[in-house]
């Protein structure tokens, strides 16, 4: 028999899973605690037990996305920079599923002016995790002579991240993976000798 703590953890995880799915495929503004409770099969009050406010739920989603992203990055930390870059692009082309889901962070961009400072900070932390990882890959690639010397590490990281985020939006609107594939080609052209 599971103890109360493990049931609480399972419920919290189920809530985060469902809230993330609803966020990525719809909008956070339309997500209600009643809808979330119905999807998970619990009472609405139980949602408030785990997340006393919608802002705290948003922060938890973004914090978990950042941790999952960092864990994903660790899977290929010992690979060549070229392999690490391809692995990073897969975050967008495979794991976020173009045409179906948006990046959890990108889902908050349309409501940015209305988000509280805690949500904005969590979103910025997720964004910085992307950029820092890309900068490390670019730095390693340049140190090994695999990547071209052109823009600064920070500029290239920002361009790559922006291209891929834009490709997700484009893929969703066009229902085509063309944008993701085109971005991968442009990124290779920008970096690989």
Q: How many domains does the chain have?
A: 2
Higher pLDDT, 149 or 4: 149
- Which pLDDT does position 191 carry in this prediction? 92
**Residues 94, 77 within the same domain:** yes
- Domain termination residue (choose one: 29, 52, 75): 52
CATH number, domain of 7, equals 1.10.10.60
Both 171 and 87 in one domain: the answer is yes
pLDDT tens for each residue of 94-109: 877 777 888 888 888 8
Q: Are residues 172 and 120 in the same domain?
A: yes
From residue 27, how far is each of 101, 108, 149 by CA, in Å?
11, 8, 40
Shared domain for 162 and 98, answered yes or no, is yes
pLDDT in tens, 26-67: 888 889 999 999 999 999 999 999 999 999 999 999 999 999
Q: For the whole prediction, is pTM greater than 0.95? A: no
pLDDT in tens, 74-99: 999 999 999 999 999 999 888 777 77
- DSSP code of residue 89: H
Residues 48 and 63 in one domain: no
- The reply to whether 90 and 183 lie within a common domain is yes
Q: What is the mean pLDDT of the chain?
A: 91
Q: Give the tokens for residue 57.
A: 């739920």
| 64 plus 41 within the same structural domain | no
User: What pLDDT, on the 0 to 100 scale, is given for residue 110?
Assistant: 79
Asked whether residue 14 falls in the same domain as residue 96, the answer is no
Q: Is the dihedral of CA 8, 14, 15, 20 positive or negative?
A: positive
Can you tell me the distance from the alpha carbon of 121 to that of 63, in angstroms, rounded to the nearest whole number? 10
Examine the domain organization and report whether 38 and 63 are in the same domain.
Answer: no
Write the CA distances from 178 to 128, 158, 159, 181, integer angstroms.
Answer: 27, 21, 18, 5
Integer Cα distance of 172 and 168 in angstroms: 6
Tokens of 50: 């785990």
Q: Residue 71 sits in a domain of what CATH number? A: 1.10.357.10
Domain range spanning residue 2?
A: 1-52
Predicted pLDDT of residue 96: 79
Residue 92 has what DSSP assignment?
I
* First-last CA distance in the chain: 58
Residue 91 burial (10 A CB sphere; 0-12, 13-18, 19+)? middle
Same domain, 141 and 86: yes
Phi, psi of 38 (to 5 degrees): -60, -45
Do 33 and 125 lie in one domain? The reply is no
Listed residues 52, 72, 91: the one ending a domain? 52
Beta bridge partners of 189: none
Alpha-helical segments (H) within 91-116: none
**HEC-encoded secondary structure of 29-74:** CCCCHHHHHHHHCCCHHHHHHHCCCHHHHHHHHHHHHHHHHHHHHH
DSSP state of 150: -
Q: Are residues 64 and 43 in the same domain?
A: no
**Residue 99 — left, alpha, or beta (φ > 0 → left; ψ -120 to 50 → alpha)?**
left
């Amino acid at each position: 028999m599971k103890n109360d703590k493990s049931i609480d953890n399972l419920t919290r995880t189920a809530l985060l899973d469902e809230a993330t799915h609803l966020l990525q495929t719809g909008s956070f503004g339309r997500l209600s605690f009643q809808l979330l409770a119905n999807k998970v099969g619990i009472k609405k009050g139980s949602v408030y037990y785990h997340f006393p406010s919608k802002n705290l739920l948003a922060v938890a989603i973004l914090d978990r996305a950042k941790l999952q992203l960092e864990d994903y990055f660790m899977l290929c930390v010992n690979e060549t920079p070229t392999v690490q870059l391809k692995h990073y692009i897969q975050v967008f082309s495979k794991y976020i599923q173009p045409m179906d889901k948006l990046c959890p962070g990108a889902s908050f961009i349309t409501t940015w002016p209305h988000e509280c400072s805690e949500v904005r900070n969590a979103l910025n932390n997720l964004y910085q995790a992307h950029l820092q990882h890309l900068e490390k890959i670019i730095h390693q690639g340049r140190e090994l002579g695999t990547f071209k010397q052109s823009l600064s590490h920070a500029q290239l990281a920002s361009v790559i991240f922006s291209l891929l985020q834009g490709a997700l939006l484009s893929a969703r609107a066009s229902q085509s993976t063309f944008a993701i594939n085109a971005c991968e080609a442009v990124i290779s052209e920008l970096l690989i000798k």
